[in-house]
Amino acid sequence: MELYEYEGRPCQVQPVPETPMPLLLGANAPAVARAAARIADGFLVPPQSPRVRQPYRDECLKLGKPDPGEYSRQRPTFLWVSEDPERDWHRLTPHIVHVLESHVRWTESAYGKPTGVYAGGVTAETIRASGKYQVLTPEQAVTLIGDLGDHSSLYLTPLMGGADPRRA
Give residues with Cβ within 8 angstroms of 54, minimum separation 6: 71
Omega prior to 76 cis, within 30 of 0: yes
Question: Each residue of 100-146: pLDDT tens digit?
Answer: 888 888 878 887 887 666 677 788 888 888 888 899 999 999 999 88
**Among the listed residues 165, 161, 166, the one whose alpha carbon sits nearest the alpha carbon of residue 78:** 161
Partners of residue 74 on adjacent β-strands: 153
Task: Concatenate the DSSP letters of all residues of 72-128 into one string.
Answer: PEE--SEEEE-SSHHHHHHHHHHHHHHHHHHHHHHHHHHHSS--STTTT---HHHHH
Evaluated on CA atoms 157, 161, 163, 166, the torsion sign reads positive
**Candidate from 26-30, 33-37, 118-122 with smallest mean pLDDT:** 118-122
**Among the listed residues 143, 146, 117, the one whose alpha carbon sits nearest the alpha carbon of residue 130:** 117
Question: Each residue of 65-106: pLDDT tens digit?
Answer: 999 887 677 778 889 999 999 999 999 999 999 888 888 888
Give residues with Cβ within 8 angstroms of 65, minimum separation 6: 37
